[in-house]
């Protein structure tokens, strides 16, 4: 009997000397339950002896590909300890025949090794196949935003919309006034060179033509005819009148054009057409 039990019995004998029968009965009950708890704890605490421990060795491989599974964790749940498989997937540790080992490896489902079953195989090294985890991933399209690289590793910038023959020799865009201080020669060349001025005029004409092509989709002869009901020379005259007084941006919408044409048509009728010769 251990020292803990001896201390309880000594305490019980000391308390048991009382003369009160009720207290003595209560003391007996307390002593009985204390001894019962000690007995139960001894039954549950199974004793493991070193001579009962067995060597458990195994090799872990992928159940599908047959590749080795290195650096997996083999844990003995009873002692909360274990080992790790080496680079060849081989492990070895001491365990009791009643133990169960848990094997965990990244990318594989958890596997359990029952030591009693291992001993039945009567092999020094048992090969264990671990089932890999497969995740179904949908198709993902990745679009990069960085600049592309040519064969020499030099980043390629966005292509300029300005034709190369119309590009300025000094600036990519209209220079700020501070350029006159920091780049006076380039600034003077940009402002005074006839060649630079001709380039800018040509670019302005191209931009105006492009804008006009877009503007014609919301403002043209047919649209003005549908709004005003004018035909023939009267329509042509009114178109000239609109071109002079329109004052709309090339980015104007069809609604803005419609409203402006109606306003100009009222002015046009008041100025050039008698009130009784035409109706809305």
- The angle subtended at Cα 9 by Cα 8 and Cα 14, nearest 5°, is 100
Number of domains in the chain: 3
Residue 194 and residue 224 share a domain? no
pLDDT in tens, 32-68: 777 777 665 554 445 556 667 888 999 999 998 899 9
Q: How far apart are the first and last CA of the chain?
A: 120
Q: Please report, for the domain that includes residue 108, its CATH number.
A: 2.60.40.1120
Residue 120 and residue 68 share a domain? yes
Place 252 in a pLDDT band, splitting at 50, 70 and 90. Answer: confident
User: Smallest Cα–Cα separation from 65: which of 108, 9, 96?
Assistant: 108
Whether 99 maps to a domain, the answer reads yes
Q: Are 168 and 179 in contact (CB under 8 A)?
A: no
Range of the domain at 125: 54-130
For residue 3, pLDDT over 60 is answered with: no
Whether 79 maps to a domain, the answer reads yes
Whether 114 maps to a domain, the answer reads yes
Whether 47 maps to a domain, the answer reads no
pLDDT in tens, 146-170: 656 555 555 555 666 666 656 777 7
Element (H, E) at 118: helix 115-121
Whether 269 maps to a domain, the answer reads yes
What is d(CA 11, CA 55) in angstroms, rounded to the nearest whole number? 46
pLDDT in tens, 171-224: 777 788 788 788 888 878 878 888 787 777 777 766 677 777 777 788 888 888
Residue 206 and residue 189 share a domain? yes
Residue 268 and residue 233 share a domain? yes
Residue 264 and residue 233 share a domain? yes
């Amino acid at each position: 009997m251990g020292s803990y039990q001896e201390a309880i019995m000594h305490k019980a004998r000391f308390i048991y000397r009382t003369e009160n029968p009720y207290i003595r009965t209560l003391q007996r009950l307390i002593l009985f339950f204390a001894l019962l708890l000690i007995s139960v704890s001894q039954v549950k605490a199974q004793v493991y002896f070193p001579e009962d421990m067995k060597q458990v060795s195994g090799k872990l491989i992928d159940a599908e590909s047959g590749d080795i599974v290195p650096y997996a964790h083999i844990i003995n749940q009873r002692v909360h300890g274990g080992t790790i498989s080496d680079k060849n997937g081989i492990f070895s540790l001491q365990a009791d025949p009643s133990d169960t080992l848990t094997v965990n490896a990244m990318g594989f489902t958890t596997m359990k090794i029952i030591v009693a079953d291992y001993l039945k195989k009567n092999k020094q090294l048992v090969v264990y196949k671990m089932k890999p985890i497969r995740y179904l991933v949908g198709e993902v399209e990745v679009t990069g935003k960085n600049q592309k690289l040519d064969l020499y590793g030099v980043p390629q910038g966005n292509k300029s919309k300005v034709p190369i023959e119309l590009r300025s020799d000094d600036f990519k865009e209209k220079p700020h006034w501070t350029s006159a201080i920091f780049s006076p020669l380039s600034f003077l060349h940009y402002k005074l060179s006839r060649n630079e001025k001709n380039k800018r005029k040509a670019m302005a004409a191209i931009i105006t033509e492009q804008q006009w092509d877009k503007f014609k989709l919301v403002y043209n002869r047919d649209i003005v005819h549908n709004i005003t009901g004018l035909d023939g020379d009267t329509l042509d005259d009114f178109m000239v009148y609109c071109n002079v007084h329109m004052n709309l941006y090339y980015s104007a919408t069809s609604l803005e054009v419609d409203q402006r044409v109606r306003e100009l048509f009222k002015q046009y009728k008041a100025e050039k057409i008698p009130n009784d010769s035409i109706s809305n």
